[in-house]
């Protein structure tokens, strides 16, 4: 049985005031093509479908189109809500859509129903676990009076209630932060909590399709995997290669994985150099000047109207930064520690020279020094 | 300052008593206060600020407004805050002024505002609002204004710090960075300058006053006869009067000049007057002298007459005295006789004395002689005794002569014996050791040889195994290349096939479309042509020839059908058809192009070994060229197969290569081990040889030494007759040595005794000789004393004879009588002489005086007294006049001179004061920022700019991140206009277009970002500058609503990074994203139910 594993679509995301909806449309089309080309038995979307709790109108339309296409091709979809989504809004109409093969995770109430698919090797059980946090689990399992204080406890409680048959093949779709994952800029951290879950909680599953982390990686064993975002959502991801993961479940114990790279409509990359270097024709000829760019200028002085002029060549310029002595200095405030503690008298002499273009005379120095001493003694 | 618990009662919208426990929110991080509008969010901050300082958090509310209108009348309004500061806990309770119902009776009374600060240790709590506020300010290190600008950013007020001008910023910094001393310095300088100016002014005025006192009299007649001089003098006087009127303002120098001139004039006049007065004086003196002389003359004459009278009296007296003197002389001659008699008596007395002396001496001698004789005999006896003992000792010494040599011999033998023993022992030990090591080493050598053999065998084996695997690496590389190549081609061909099929479909569509369009067109064309006739027919008129046939008769013109197309439509259809045709052509071209590409790929044959020999049609492959025989699909399949095979081959090759590498490594290891072992073996061999050599040498030595020892023992002749074997020698040696030892000791004792005796004998001998000498000396002395005795006896006898009967006392009395007589005679003589002499003197003196007076009289001249007197009076009068005039002038001059001195002294002082004023003023102006034409920056501000720069640097770190690298704050060095105080103005740099502009041009959200960064930068700097102020808690009231999502993210990041460590940051906001992001919340809700209206606050920690 073959699944395409993707996650963190973040439909409707705006990056540096640019709307990425067109790029997302393009990449969803590409994913659709891949699903059809691979003749996959299902598409997994592991959370963060929308970028906001209340998504924008065009992102809702986009998802609507996507799911309808997939349903039209009779490809089942297995999606869970992530921390950016509103669980209730994602679960809207899920029971109605189940009939057409679109399975969306419900709001977590304590029990996780499994979805059973069949293939030549037997049944495959899919479990959809939305993004949970301790308070949610606590609320759902109130009668049982459990001690759920940490995220780890919450995850363990949820998994233990799933009634899993270890003889059969089991696949989990979840959206959590598993210990050992490495992060990048575009992820959001939880304010005020420690949100890590250890990977051992999922040991009983043959494959765990995870979402939440934006760079593709596996945690511990290869079959606990974050597939990463389909598009680059921050400049810290500029060097990554985005992909979808193809998961093939054969007989129990045999899981084959490979990735298929994704090529976006506009790439996201970084350019560095002086203003003259960056604007000379030979530099940008041949490259995609339409890409979303972050330009780091190394000129020592600010280029007047820099943003405007660079936008003429690179219309999709997102960010302009300067990396020169001045910025390096201002970054390192901690090193520029003590303005040498100068004495009051020294400061006064300096100030006098600055204002009068000549240094103090001896009489003045003596007078000032005596006054200072008097004042300091009085304090 | 970290709040722990807040109790609010009847305060703002909180009708009842509400408790908020901040400890539930943890000890660091962000928390959100959220709720409906008007529920009481800002009131929580107000409550905290009120509890600490007695004021609201923003500028809008006042403490009098805090009483809750929803509260029951009997509920008290107060706020109680328990907080931690520097690790200690404090509790402050405060209530505002409000009206409450009276305890007794009706009506309302004013409840005064009150506060209490409770310490949790034994200190007394502080009461009274002002005291409590002061104590809190001291504890926290911030007063109300600073608190609201740094730790609490109130609603609508966050811009305060950003938009403040220099003077208010300066005040804040003064408190925070303790720059108050510079302000103090400025003020002091200002005061000093004022004082200095006052001093200078005073001096100037006093000079003026002095100058007004110049005296200048009008000119009189008299000595100043010179008309020129007189005129000049009057001029000066006039000018002086004028200046005096003007109090010498600015004209000090001119005044001084006039003074100088006046002085000079005065001097001159004085000198003139002096001269004249002196003349008068002289004349007067001359006259007076003359008068004197005349008086004197008279005096002298009277004196002379007196003296002469005296002289006459004295002369007879003199003659009397002379007679007395001669008498006395005669008496004196008798003196000689008496003195000779005295002499005789004296001689006799002497003789008596001598006699006494001799007698005493005689007695002494007798005693002495007796003593000496006694001692002599005693000493002689002792001497005899000593001599006898000496002879005894000498005899003993003879015996012990030979002791020394014997001892020496014994010692030698002992030494030799010990030496031999030691040597033997050493050698035997060495020998044994060597034996042992030799055996060890031989064993080792054997095992090493074995190991070496084994190693060599293993090495040969590995080398043999390595031979066949040489080419493994190269093969692997080839296999890999081939595989990749296959993969690429497969991909390409697949894609191309896809494209080709789609292109074909398109093509077919296009063809059908084209056909259709073409038919349509043709049909239409036909219709059009058909209708030509109808068209033509339209233009027919009777009588005109038909264009077609020329007839002029048109009985039945053709009719246009309705459906006739016109040219335009036809044209359009044609174009459509053409376009369809083009499309077809294009698509077919594309199809052809794709096919070509596919064929090209197919051309490259698949390498032999990658084909599957069992596929269908395999027999044909070798004979027919590839491109013709295979269909594309088959080719693709074969390619896939080839791909697969290539993959397998590659894996094989890779394994082989890995095996080869492993073998190589093994071989290298073995080789090194073998080399090492061989080297070790050689080393050991060499060691062995050397050791054996050593062993032999030692053996020889041992034999030699034992022989010598044996000879020695035989020499000793101690009964040792056994063999000279070393072992046995060794055992025998100790006994021998013991006996030697004993005899040696004995000999030593004898030697010692001998030495003692020698020493003693020597001493004794010298003593004895000395004693004998002394004895002889004493004998001589005795003899001499005896002779002296006899002499003395003789002497005594003679003296007695000489003296006779005369006694001592008689003689002495006689002497005294004679002496007294002589004395009397002398006295009388001297008296007479003296009297005579005095008389003589008197007479001579008188004579002398008389002659002198005579002389004087001759000297003095004659003259008339009255005339002289008259002249004298005249001169006197003149002199008086001159002197008085002079005195006047002198007084005036002195006055002027003193003024001159005073003024010049004052002048120097004034100049000095002026100089000091000048530099002091420049110093004070610089310090106070009052320099002309320059920016009004005072010293304190200058110092504060350094701090401000640091704050800005820190603020910019955050602002740059929050605005995505666009904005940066900068200190403006000049003020808007040069009149206001400058130095701490802010401007913002926009990096997107490299421009600089005022802070006021930022939008609402941007200025919130900037204010937040500035506040964070300021709090950072305060913490870092070790003022003892720790800001553990920060409160931000609204402002987030003006930020869009991305900026909100950045602001959250900035605030979150602030909470690293130990800080709590509280935010009031209604933005929904924040509600989702921040899990720790205080929810404030309005309740409107039967229990009354009011608000509630609840801490929710939703982790």
Mind telling me how many Å the CA of A38 is from chain B's nearest CA? Answer: 14
* Nearest CB to B953; choose among A15, A330, A372: A330
- Digit-coded pLDDT (tens) for A126-165: 999 999 988 888 888 887 777 887 888 889 889 988 888 8
Residue B616 pLDDT: 43
For residue B626, pLDDT over 50 is answered with no
Question: What are B769's two structure tokens?
Answer: 């000789």
What contacts B95, CB < 8 A, 6 or more positions away? Answer: B76, B77, B78, B79, B111, B113, B114, B115
Between chain A and chain B, the number of residue pairs with CB atoms below 8 A apart is 126
**Inter-chain residue contact B922 with A306, CB threshold 8 Å:** no
Mind telling me how many Å the CA of B954 is from chain A's nearest CA? Answer: 7
Mean pLDDT over residues B225-247, rounded? 76
Contact B657, B475 (CB under 8 A): yes
> Using the 8-state DSSP alphabet, how is residue A341 labeled?
-
**Inter-chain residue contact A352 with B923, CB threshold 8 Å:** yes
Q: Which residue pairs, CB below 8 angstroms and at least 24 apart, start in B359-363?
A: B359/B796, B361/B792, B362/B789, B362/B792, B362/B793, B362/B796
* Nearest CB to B181; choose among A15, A190, A376: A376
**Inter-chain residue contact A191 with B29, CB threshold 8 Å:** yes
Mind telling me how many Å the CA of B510 is from chain A's nearest CA? Answer: 25
- Give the residue on B whose Cα is nearest the Cα of A132: B1103
- Give the residue on A whose Cα is nearest the Cα of B962: A16
Sheet holding A292-297, edge to edge: A268-273, A292-297, A317-322
Question: What are A264's two structure tokens?
Answer: 């976006």
Question: How far apart, in whole angstroms, are the C-alpha atoms of residue B165 and residue B986?
Answer: 9
Residues in chain B within 8 Å Cβ distance of A360: 923
Residue B614 pLDDT: 47
* Nearest CB to B994; choose among A133, A189, A305: A305
Helix, strand or coil, per DSSP, at residue B901: helix
Residues in chain A within 8 Å Cβ distance of B971: none
Domain ranges across chain B: 1-151+1032-1103, 166-192+936-1030, 199-307+863-916
CATH architecture of B166-192+936-1030: 3-Layer(aba) Sandwich (3.40)
Q: Domain A2-261 is classified in which CATH homologous superfamily?
A: Metallo-dependent phosphatases (3.60.21.10)
- Digit-coded pLDDT (tens) for B718-774: 555 555 566 676 777 777 778 878 888 887 888 888 888 888 888 888 888 888 888
Highest-confidence range of A73-77, B309-313, B580-584, B686-690, by mean pLDDT?
A73-77
Question: How far apart, in whole angstroms, are the C-alpha atoms of residue B507 and residue B866?
Answer: 180
* Nearest CB to B1103; choose among A135, A336, A360: A135
Going by pLDDT thresholds of 50, 70 and 90, the confidence category of residue A44 is: very high
Mean pLDDT over residues B894-922, rounded? 86
Number of other CB atoms surrounding residue B989 within 10 Å: 15
Mean pLDDT over residues B43-71, rounded? 84
Residue A57 pLDDT: 94
Mean pLDDT over residues B324-336, rounded? 77
Query: Most B CBs within 10 Å: which of A192, A314, A366, as the mutation test of the B interface?
Result: A192
Q: What is chain B's mean pLDDT, rounded?
A: 81
Question: How far apart, in whole angstroms, are the C-alpha atoms of residue B1061 and residue B1056?
Answer: 11
**Inter-chain residue contact A361 with B919, CB threshold 8 Å:** yes
Single out the residue of A313, A214, A231 nearest to residue A22, CA to CA.
A231
Q: In chain B, pLDDT over 90 holds for what percent of residues?
A: 4
**Inter-chain residue contact A330 with B1102, CB threshold 8 Å:** no
Q: Which residues make beta-bridge pairs with B1078?
A: A191
Q: C-alpha B60: how far from its chain's center?
A: 49
Contact B1005, B1047 (CB under 8 A): yes
**Inter-chain residue contact A192 with B964, CB threshold 8 Å:** no
- What is the helix (H) or strand (E) element at residue B4, kind and residue range? strand B2-11
* The model's pTM: 0.51
* Nearest CB to A14; choose among B957, B965, B1045: B1045
**Inter-chain residue contact B939 with A190, CB threshold 8 Å:** no
Contact B733, B420 (CB under 8 A): yes
Cβ burial of B46 (10 Å; 0-12, 13-18, 19+) is buried
DSSP states of B990-1004 as a string?
ETTTTEEEEGGGS-H
**Inter-chain residue contact A190 with B950, CB threshold 8 Å:** no
* Nearest CB to B942; choose among A189, A306, A351: A351
Single out the residue of A111, A41, A26 nearest to residue A78, CA to CA.
A41
Question: How far apart, in whole angstroms, are the C-alpha atoms of residue B755 and residue B757?
Answer: 5
Single out the residue of A268, A201, A193, A192 nearest to residue A229, CA to CA.
A268
- What is the helix (H) or strand (E) element at residue B506, kind and residue range? helix B472-539
Mean pLDDT over residues B244-263, rounded? 75
Residue A265 phi/psi, 5-degree rounding, is: -70, -50
Residue B653 pLDDT: 84
Residue B1025 pLDDT: 67
Question: What are B264's two structure tokens?
Answer: 């000079």
Highest-confidence range of A69-73, A286-290, B466-470, by mean pLDDT?
A69-73
* Nearest CB to B926; choose among A320, A330, A352: A352
Mind telling me how many Å the CA of A213 is from chain B's nearest CA? Answer: 17
Contact B581, B547 (CB under 8 A): no
For residue A181, pLDDT over 80 is answered with no
Residue B338, CB half-sphere, CA atoms under 13 Å: how many?
A: 17
Going by pLDDT thresholds of 50, 70 and 90, the confidence category of residue A332 is: low
**Inter-chain residue contact B943 with A347, CB threshold 8 Å:** yes
B902-B904-B910-B912 Cα dihedral, nearest 10 degrees: -120
- Give the residue on B whose Cα is nearest the Cα of A321: B965
* Nearest CB to B993; choose among A191, A305, A330: A305
- Digit-coded pLDDT (tens) for B860-881: 666 677 887 888 888 888 888 8
Residue A191 pLDDT: 47
* Nearest CB to A191; choose among B30, B954, B1072: B30
Mind telling me how many Å the CA of B234 is from chain A's nearest CA? Answer: 48
Residue B725 pLDDT: 66
Going by pLDDT thresholds of 50, 70 and 90, the confidence category of residue B625 is: very low
- Give the residue on A whose Cα is nearest the Cα of B1026: A338
DSSP states of A269-306 as a string?
EEEEE-HHHHHSHHHHTTS-TTSEEEEEE--SSPPTTH
Contact B110, B97 (CB under 8 A): yes
Domain ranges across chain A: 2-261, 268-331, 344-378
**Inter-chain residue contact B992 with A368, CB threshold 8 Å:** no
> Rounded to a whole number, what is the distance in angstroms from the first to the last CA of chain A?
84
Mind telling me how many Å the CA of A53 is from chain B's nearest CA? Answer: 9
Residue B628 pLDDT: 44
Q: Which residues make beta-bridge pairs with B1086?
A: B1095
What contacts B189, CB < 8 A, 6 or more positions away? Answer: A371, B920, B923, B924, B927, B928
Question: What are B48's two structure tokens?
Answer: 């905290």
Question: How far apart, in whole angstroms, are the C-alpha atoms of residue B263 and residue B903?
Answer: 14
Question: How far apart, in whole angstroms, are the C-alpha atoms of residue B445 and residue B436?
Answer: 15
For residue A313, pLDDT over 90 is answered with no
> Using the 8-state DSSP alphabet, how is residue B1099 labeled?
E
| Angle at CA of residue B121, ends B116 and B124, nearest 5° | 45
Contact A175, A210 (CB under 8 A): yes
**Inter-chain residue contact B181 with A303, CB threshold 8 Å:** no
Q: In chain A, pLDDT over 90 holds for what percent of residues?
A: 40
For residue B613, pLDDT over 80 is answered with no
- What is the helix (H) or strand (E) element at residue A337, kind and residue range? none
* Nearest CB to B923; choose among A190, A192, A364: A364
b/e B357-381 (16+ beta carbons within 10 angstroms → b): ebeeebeebeeebeebeeeeeeeee
Going by pLDDT thresholds of 50, 70 and 90, the confidence category of residue B615 is: very low
Query: Most B CBs within 10 Å: which of A86, A355, A378, as the mutation test of the B interface?
Result: A355
Question: How far apart, in whole angstroms, are the C-alpha atoms of residue A339 and residue A346?
Answer: 13
- Give the residue on B whose Cα is nearest the Cα of A375: B181
* Nearest CB to B991; choose among A320, A344, A374: A320
Residue A264 phi/psi, 5-degree rounding, is: -85, 170
Question: How far apart, in whole angstroms, are the C-alpha atoms of residue B748 and residue B759?
Answer: 17
Contact B1027, B176 (CB under 8 A): yes
What contacts B510, CB < 8 A, 6 or more positions away? Answer: B580, B583, B584, B587
What contacts B379, CB < 8 A, 6 or more positions away? Answer: B771, B774, B775, B778
**Inter-chain residue contact B994 with A351, CB threshold 8 Å:** no
Single out the residue of B308, B68, B317 nearest to residue B848, CA to CA.
B308
Question: How far apart, in whole angstroms, are the C-alpha atoms of residue B463 and residue B870?
Answer: 168
Residues in chain B within 8 Å Cβ distance of A193: 1079, 1103
Contact A337, B896 (CB under 8 A): no
What contacts B851, CB < 8 A, 6 or more positions away? Answer: none
Q: In chain B, pLDDT over 70 holds for what percent of residues?
A: 92
Question: How far apart, in whole angstroms, are the C-alpha atoms of residue B1038 and residue B1070?
Answer: 8
- Digit-coded pLDDT (tens) for B653-677: 888 888 888 888 888 888 888 888 8
**Inter-chain residue contact B993 with A304, CB threshold 8 Å:** yes
Question: How far apart, in whole angstroms, are the C-alpha atoms of residue A12 and residue A63?
Answer: 10
Count H helices and E strands in chain B, helices first.
22, 17
Residue B622 pLDDT: 43
Going by pLDDT thresholds of 50, 70 and 90, the confidence category of residue B563 is: low
Question: How far apart, in whole angstroms, are the C-alpha atoms of residue A118 and residue B127?
Answer: 80
Residues in chain B within 8 Å Cβ distance of A192: 26, 29-31, 1078-1080, 1103
**Inter-chain residue contact B965 with A322, CB threshold 8 Å:** yes
Query: Most A CBs within 10 Å: which of B188, B994, B1050, B1069, as the mutation test of the A interface?
Result: B994
State which fold the B1-151+1032-1103 domain adopts: Rossmann fold (3.40.50)
Going by pLDDT thresholds of 50, 70 and 90, the confidence category of residue B645 is: confident
Mean pLDDT over residues B75-91, rounded? 89
- Digit-coded pLDDT (tens) for B997-1053: 888 888 888 888 888 888 888 877 777 765 567 777 888 888 888 888 778 888 887
Residue B219 pLDDT: 54
Residues in chain A within 8 Å Cβ distance of B939: 347-348, 351
For residue B621, pLDDT over 50 is answered with no
Cβ burial of B857 (10 Å; 0-12, 13-18, 19+) is middle
Residues in chain B within 8 Å Cβ distance of A319: 964-965
Contact B767, B426 (CB under 8 A): no
What contacts B776, CB < 8 A, 6 or more positions away? Answer: none
Residues in chain A within 8 Å Cβ distance of B968: 330
Residue B976 pLDDT: 61
Residues in chain A within 8 Å Cβ distance of B1103: 133-135, 192-193
> With left for phi above 0 and alpha for psi between -120 and 50, is residue B725 left, alpha or beta?
beta
Number of other CB atoms surrounding residue A329 within 10 Å: 12
Residues in chain A within 8 Å Cβ distance of B184: 375
The angle, 0 to 180 degrees and rounded to 10, between the axes of the packed helices B726-803 and B403-466 is 140
Question: What are B766's two structure tokens?
Answer: 């010298």
For residue B426, pLDDT over 50 is answered with yes
Handedness of CA B218, B221, B223, B224 (dihedral sign): positive
Residue A335 pLDDT: 41
Residues in chain A within 8 Å Cβ distance of B927: 348, 351
Going by pLDDT thresholds of 50, 70 and 90, the confidence category of residue B330 is: confident
> Using the 8-state DSSP alphabet, how is residue B354 labeled?
H
- Give the residue on B whose Cα is nearest the Cα of A377: B181
Handedness of CA B644, B647, B652, B655 (dihedral sign): negative
For residue B541, pLDDT over 50 is answered with yes
Going by pLDDT thresholds of 50, 70 and 90, the confidence category of residue A261 is: very high
Q: C-alpha A248: how far from its chain's center?
A: 26
Q: Which residues make beta-bridge pairs with B115?
A: B94
């Amino acid at each position: 049985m073959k699944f395409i594993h993707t996650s963190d679509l973040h439909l409707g995301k705006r990056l540096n005031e640019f709307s990425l909806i067109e790029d997302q449309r393009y990449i969803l089309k590409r994913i659709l093509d891949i699903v059809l080309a691979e003749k996959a038995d299902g598409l997994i979307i592991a959370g963060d479908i929308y970028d906001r709790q209340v998504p924008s109108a065009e992102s809702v339309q986009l998802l609507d189109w996507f799911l309808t296409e997939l349903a039209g091709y009779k490809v089942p979809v297995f999606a869970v809500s992530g921390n950016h989504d509103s669980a209730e809004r994602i679960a809207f109409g899920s029971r109605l859509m189940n009939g057409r093969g679109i399975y969306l995770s419900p709001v977590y109430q304590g029990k996780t129903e499994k979805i059973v698919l069949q293939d030549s090797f037997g049944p495959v059980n899919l479990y959809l676990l939305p993004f949970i946090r301790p308070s949610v689990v606590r609320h759902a399992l109130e009668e049982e009076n459990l001690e759920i204080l940490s995220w780890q406890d919450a995850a363990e409680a949820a998994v233990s209630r799933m009634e899993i048959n270890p003889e059969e093949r089991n696949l989990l779709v979840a959206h959590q932060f598993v210990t050992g994952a490495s992060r990048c800029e575009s992820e959001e951290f939880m304010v005020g909590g420690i949100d890590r879950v250890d990977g051992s909680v999922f040991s009983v599953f043959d494959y765990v399709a995870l979402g939440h982390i934006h760079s593709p990686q596996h945690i511990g064993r290869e079959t606990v995997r974050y597939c990463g975002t389909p598009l680059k959502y921050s400049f810290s991801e500029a060097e990554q290669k985005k992909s979808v993961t193809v998961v093939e479940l054969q007989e129990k114990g045999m899981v084959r994985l490979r990735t298929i790279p994704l090529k976006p409509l506009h790439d996201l990359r970084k350019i560095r150099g002086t203003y003259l270097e960056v604007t000379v024709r030979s530099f940008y000829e041949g490259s995609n000047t339409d890409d979303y760019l972050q330009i780091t200028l190394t000129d020592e002085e600010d280029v007047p109207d820099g943003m405007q002029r660079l936008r003429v060549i690179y219309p999709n310029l997102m960010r302009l930064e300067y990396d020169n002595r001045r910025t390096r200095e201002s970054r390192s405030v901690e090193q520029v520690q003590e303005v040498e503690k100068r004495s009051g008298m020294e400061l006064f002499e300096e100030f006098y020279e600055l204002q009068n273009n000549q240094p103090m005379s001896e009489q003045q120095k003596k007078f000032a020094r005596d006054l200072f001493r008097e004042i300091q003694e009085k304090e | 300052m970290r709040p722990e618990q807040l109790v609010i009662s009847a305060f703002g919208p909180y009708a009842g008593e509400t408790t908020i426990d901040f400890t539930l929110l943890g000890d660091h991080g962000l928390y959100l206060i959220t709720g409906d509008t008007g529920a009481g969010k800002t009131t929580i901050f107000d409550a905290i600020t009120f509890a600490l300082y007695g004021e609201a958090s923003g500028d809008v509310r006042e403490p009098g407004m805090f009483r809750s209108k929803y509260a029951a009348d009997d509920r008290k309004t107060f706020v109680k805050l328990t907080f931690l500061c520097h690790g200690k806990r404090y509790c402050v309770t405060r209530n505002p002024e409000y009206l409450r119902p009276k305890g007794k009776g009706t009506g309302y009374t004013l409840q005064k505002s009150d506060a209490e600060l409770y310490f949790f240790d034994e200190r007394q709590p502080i009461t009274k609002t002002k005291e409590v506020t002061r104590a809190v300010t001291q504890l926290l290190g911030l007063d109300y204004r600073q608190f609201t600008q740094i730790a609490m950013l109130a609603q609508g007020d966050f811009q305060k710090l950003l938009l403040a001008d220099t003077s208010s910023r300066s005040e804040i910094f003064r408190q925070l960075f303790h720059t108050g001393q510079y302000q103090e310095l400025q003020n002091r300088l200002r005061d000093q300058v004022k004082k200095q100016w006052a001093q200078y002014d005073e001096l100037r005025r006093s000079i003026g006053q002095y100058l007004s006192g110049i005296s200048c009299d009008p000119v009189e007649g008299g000595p100043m006869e010179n008309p020129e001089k007189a005129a000049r003098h009057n001029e000066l006087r006039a000018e002086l009067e004028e200046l005096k009127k003007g109090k010498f303002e600015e004209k000090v120098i001119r005044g001084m000049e006039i003074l100088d001139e006046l002085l000079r004039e005065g001097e001159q006049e004085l000198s003139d007057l002096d001269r004249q007065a002196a003349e008068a004086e002289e004349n007067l003196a001359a006259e007076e002298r003359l008068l004197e002389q005349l008086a004197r003359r008279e005096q002298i004459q009277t004196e002379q007459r007196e003296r002469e009278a005296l002289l006459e009296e004295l002369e007879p007296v003199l003659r009397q005295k002379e007679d007395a003197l001669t008498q006395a002389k005669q008496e004196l001659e008798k003196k000689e006789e008496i003195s000779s008699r005295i002499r005789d008596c004296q001689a006799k007395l002497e003789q008596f004395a001598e006699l006494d002396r001799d007698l005493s001496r005689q007695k002494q001698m007798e005693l002495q002689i007796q003593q000496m004789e006694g001692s002599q005999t005693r000493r002689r006896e002792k001497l005899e005794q000593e001599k006898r003992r000496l002879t005894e000792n000498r005899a003993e010494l003879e015996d012990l002569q030979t002791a020394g040599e014997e001892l020496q011999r014994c010692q030698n033998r002992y030494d030799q014996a010990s030496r031999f023993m030691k040597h033997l022992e050493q050698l035997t030990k060495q020998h044994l050791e060597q034996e042992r090591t030799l055996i060890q080493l031989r064993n080792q050598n054997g095992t090493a040889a074995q190991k070496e053999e084994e190693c060599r065998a293993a090495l040969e084996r590995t080398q043999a195994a390595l031979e066949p695997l040489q080419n493994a690496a190269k093969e692997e590389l080839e296999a890999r290349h081939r595989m990749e190549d296959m993969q690429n081609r497969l991909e390409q061909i697949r894609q191309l096939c896809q494209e080709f099929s789609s292109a074909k479909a398109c093509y077919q569509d296009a063809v059908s479309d084209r056909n259709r369009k073409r038919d349509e067109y043709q049909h239409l064309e036909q219709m059009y042509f058909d209708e030509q006739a109808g068209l033509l027919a339209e233009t027919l008129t009777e009588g005109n020839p038909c264009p077609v046939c020329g007839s002029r008769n048109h009985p039945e013109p053709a009719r246009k059908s309705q459906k006739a197309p016109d040219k335009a439509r036809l044209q359009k259809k044609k174009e459509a058809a053409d376009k369809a045709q083009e499309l077809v052509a294009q698509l077919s071209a594309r199809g052809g192009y794709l096919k070509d590409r596919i064929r090209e790929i197919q051309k490259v044959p698949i390498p032999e070994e990658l084909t599957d020999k069992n596929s269908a049609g395999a027999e044909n492959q070798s004979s027919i060229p590839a491109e013709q025989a295979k269909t594309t699909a088959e080719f693709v399949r074969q390619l896939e197969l080839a791909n697969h095979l290539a993959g397998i081959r590659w894996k094989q090759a890779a394994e082989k290569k890995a095996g080869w590498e492993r073998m190589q490594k093994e071989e290298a290891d073995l080789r090194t081990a073998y080399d090492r072992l061989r080297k070790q073996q050689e080393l050991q061999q060499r060691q062995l040889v050397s050791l054996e050599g050593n062993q032999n040498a030692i053996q020889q030595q041992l034999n030699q030494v034992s022989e010598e020892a044996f000879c020695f023992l035989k020499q000793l002749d101690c009964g040792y007759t056994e063999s000279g074997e070393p072992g046995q020698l060794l055992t025998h040696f100790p006994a021998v040595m013991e006996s030697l030892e004993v005899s040696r000791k004995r000999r030593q004792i004898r030697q010692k005794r001998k030495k003692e005796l020698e020493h003693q004998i020597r001493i004794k001998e010298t003593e004895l000789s000395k004693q004998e000498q002394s004895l002889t000396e004493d004998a001589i002395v005795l003899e001499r004393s005896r002779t002296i005795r006899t002499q003395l006896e003789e002497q005594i006898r003679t003296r007695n004879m000489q003296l006779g009967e005369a006694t001592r006392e008689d003689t002495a009395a006689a002497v005294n009588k004679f002496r007294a007589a002589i004395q009397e005679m002398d006295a009388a003589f001297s008296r007479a002489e003296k009297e005579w002499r005095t008389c003589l003197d008197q007479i001579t003196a008188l004579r002398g005086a008389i002659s002198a007076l005579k002389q004087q009289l001759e000297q003095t001249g004659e003259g008339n007294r009255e005339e002289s007197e008259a002249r004298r009076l005249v001169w006197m009068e003149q002199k008086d006049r001159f002197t008085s005039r002079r005195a006047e002038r002198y007084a005036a001059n002195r006055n002027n001179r003193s003024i001159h001195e005073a003024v010049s002294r004052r002048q120097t002082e004034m100049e000095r004061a002026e100089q000091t004023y000048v530099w002091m003023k420049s110093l004070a102006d610089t310090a106070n920022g009052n320099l002309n034409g320059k920016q009004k920056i005072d010293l304190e501000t200058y110092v504060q700019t350094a701090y401000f720069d640091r704050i800005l640097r820190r603020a910019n770190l955050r602002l740059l991140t929050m605005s995505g690298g666009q904005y940066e704050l900068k200190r403006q060095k000049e003020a808007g206009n040069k009149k206001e105080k400058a130095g701490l103005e802010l401007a913002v740099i926009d990096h997107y277009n490299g421009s600089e502009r005022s802070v006021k041009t930022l939008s609402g959200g941007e200025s919130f970002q900037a204010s937040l960064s500035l506040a964070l930068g300021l709090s950072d700097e305060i913490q870092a500058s070790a003022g003892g102020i720790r800001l553990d808690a920060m409160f931000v009231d609204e402002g987030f609503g003006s930020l869009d999502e991305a900026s909100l993210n950045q602001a959250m990041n900035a605030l979150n990074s602030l909470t690293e460590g130990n800080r709590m940051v509280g935010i009031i906001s209604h933005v929904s994203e924040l509600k989702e992001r921040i899990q720790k919340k205080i929810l404030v809700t309005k309740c409107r139910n039967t229990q009354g209206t009011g608000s509630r606050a609840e801490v929710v920690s939703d982790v």
